[in-house]
Structure 1
Amino acid sequence: MRFNPKADISGGRVRDAGGGGGGGPMRIPLPGGTRAGGGIGGLIIIILFVVLTQCMGGGGGLPSPGGGTNQQGQAQPDGIDPNDDRYANCKTGADANEDPDCARKAVALSLEQFWATTLPEQGNTEFVPASINTFAGAVDTGCGQASSQVGPFYCPPDQQIYLDTTFFEDVLEGQLGGQGGDFVEPYVLGHEYGHHIQNLLGTMGQVRSQQGPESDAVRLELQADCYAGMWTRDASDGDGILADLDEGDITEALDSAKAVGDDRIQQKSGQGVDPEGWTHGSSEQRMRWFTVGYEQGTLEACDTFAASEL
């Protein structure tokens, strides 16, 4: 995956929220570490519980606050902190090719540009951008406090995405066995941005059942995977921030979707596969719906709530 080196990424809505919010990290021991309260079983239960409770807030969301101004008195979009040292030097696609922080900012801008056009055109809904917040240890949000072990998540009251970037190596690769790669984080950010689109569309208000292979919660998650596929299709057409997205990058995204399937997580935690406990969908379902979005590229094709089969 390569970015257009001449692209202006200065408008990407990413900021660093620091860490240690509300009393410090709530770390859960990784597999192979201490025994009490740790291991992948407890970790995954907390991941699923926190992400689901945060994503079950009703539709509509809150209006986005207005932006401020930069040091030159120019309008500064909400979600961009001109004094944020972590992202201060991320100006161009060339920076994104050299620095993973700048790559994150470029992805944020690409997602925003895609949905700013697609949501009004296909969903007849006004687009409000989301910000992406990175943190270390723990962070306070409108959905409560979250630790780095929770994994990336979208908070509807904030209309913002949160992630500790160590999650990808420590959990997704280290614990769940994902193969990793340059496009793993962009896929996950695309999924979480998909939850933001669901919030704007009011889809979250349709969620009634929260467990089971045909549950509304599973349909919500699979739709977010489909929306990530929609964005990937657009980002890979060679006419935007991403200059080079190949089949290997798509394979990385599919492998990530596979790694976070409910059946895969249950197996990794030493449990038998129990579809009645699913909240996000199986590995096959998550890969399939990402592919639907990637191949068809429409909100209509991604209507998992109308699908007779998931």
Structure 2
Amino acid sequence: MTFNDNANIGGGRVSKRGRNTGIAVGGGGLGVIALFLLSQFLGVDLSGLAGGGQPAAESGSVSNLAECTTGAQANADVECRMKGAAASLDTYWAEELPRLGVDYQQPQPVALFTDSTGTGCGAASAATGPFYCPSDATIYLDTAFFDDLRTRFGSSGGPLAEMYVIAHEWGHHVQNLTGVLAQSQDGQTGAASNSVRVELQADCFAGAWTGAATTITDENGVTFLKPITQAQIRDALSAASAVGDDRIQAATQGQVNPEGWTHGSSEQRQRWFGTGFEQGAGACDTFAPGDAEL
């Protein structure tokens, strides 16, 4: 997906933290579902995130990427691209969420970091992968993950695949606003578990934004993004497929165990992204279908 060169992305709320930059954080944690989610996805032990953050402000710089102002810069630079995506996502959900009966509140600026950072859910490292922390309403992302998405998970990559990731995490913020995150944290896993339904809904929300993206305009009435090509859609679907539970289990364990799923299969993730893309956010109730229909 390509930005219009003269689109104004200056309103995108993104901060970049220097190496080893932390923030003072209080109590709270990712919660059982998020720990299952990230540990299963990335194959790392995230138990350190569960105990609540300790105040640990570290030295380092914080930038709001003020130099990223145009769509042309978003096309050329991944950090500017995240700022452009944030501008578009904020605009989309500010209009769309009230239509679903919920007031929209902006998340905190997306936090780009390198190596490690402090969060409202505890310390995070690049190995944690992208995640949304409900305690401080912030999306955390080390853009090096996009390389992993290609090399470790087999995605075709591309700008829309990268923006799918941030749109998915933005979907978790929407779920935080609607109460879905809090209501669904029962600690269960499995092909039709609440954890899987949460992730598939975030995929659907990402698809809904993608489907509307070429109609979303900046403050000057310029559309942020050019029309989407079929190749770009395939890139987004490739990213969704690459992080399916069945595909990751097969690659890391040599077998597929649906009882351990926390995200959904590759087919489910692609299908729900497509549902949002074709039908919009109103079609993203992944908690309505029965187990067999999910």
> Which bin holds the TM-score, normalised by the shorter protein?
0.7 to 0.9
Q: What is residue 201 of structure 1 aligned with on the other side?
A: 178
What is the CA-CA distance between 1:5 and the residue it aligns to?
Answer: 1.8
Q: What is residue 153 of structure 1 aligned with on the other side?
A: 131
> Which residue type is aligned with residue 162 of structure 2?
E
Q: 1:281 aligns with which of 264, 270, 278?
A: 264
CA 1:145/1:84 → structure 2, altered by over 3 Å: closer, same or farther? Answer: closer
CA distance, structure 1, for counterparts of residue 63 and residue 160 of structure 2: 24
CA distance, structure 2, for counterparts of residue 136 and residue 257 of structure 1: 24
Q: 1:292 aligns with which of 265, 275, 290?
A: 275
Q: What is residue 287 of structure 2 aligned with on the other side?
A: 305
What is the CA-CA distance between 1:229 and the residue it aligns to?
Answer: 0.4
Alignment of 1:1-310 (within 5 A): 1-21=1-21, 44-46=42-44, 85=63, 87-122=65-100, 124-130=101-107, 131-169=109-147, 171-207=148-184, 208-237=186-215, 240-299=223-282, 301-308=283-290, 309-310=293-294
TM-score by length of 1: 0.78
CA distance, structure 2, for counterparts of residue 209 and residue 226 of structure 1: 22
RMSD: 2.3
Give the gaps of 5 or more residues in structure 1.
23-40, 55-82
CA deviation vs aligned residue, 1:238-264 (integer Å, no higher than 9, x gap): 862012321111111100000000000
The answer to which of 88-97 and 187-196 deviates more is: 88-97
The answer to which of 100-109 and 278-287 deviates more is: 100-109
Q: Secondary structure at the match of 1:269?
A: helix
CA deviation vs aligned residue, 1:14-50 (integer Å, no higher than 9, x gap): 001223256xxxxxxxxxxxxxxxxxx9983327x57
CA 1:21/1:90 → structure 2, altered by over 3 Å: closer, same or farther? Answer: closer
CA 1:44/1:91 → structure 2, altered by over 3 Å: closer, same or farther? Answer: closer
By percentage of residues, which structure has more helix? Answer: 2
CA deviation vs aligned residue, 1:258-277 (integer Å, no higher than 9, x gap): 00000000011033100000
The percentage of aligned residue pairs carrying the same residue is: 48
CA distance, structure 2, for counterparts of residue 6 and residue 158 of structure 1: 33
Deviating runs (4+, > 3 A) in structure 1?
83-86, 236-239
> Which residue type is aligned with residue 113 of structure 2?
F
TM-score by length of 2: 0.82
The answer as to whether partners of 1:12 and 1:108 remain within 8 angstroms in 2 is yes
> Which residue type is aligned with residue 44 of structure 1?
L
The answer as to whether partners of 1:3 and 1:244 remain within 8 angstroms in 2 is no
CA distance, structure 1, for counterparts of residue 138 and residue 216 of structure 2: 28
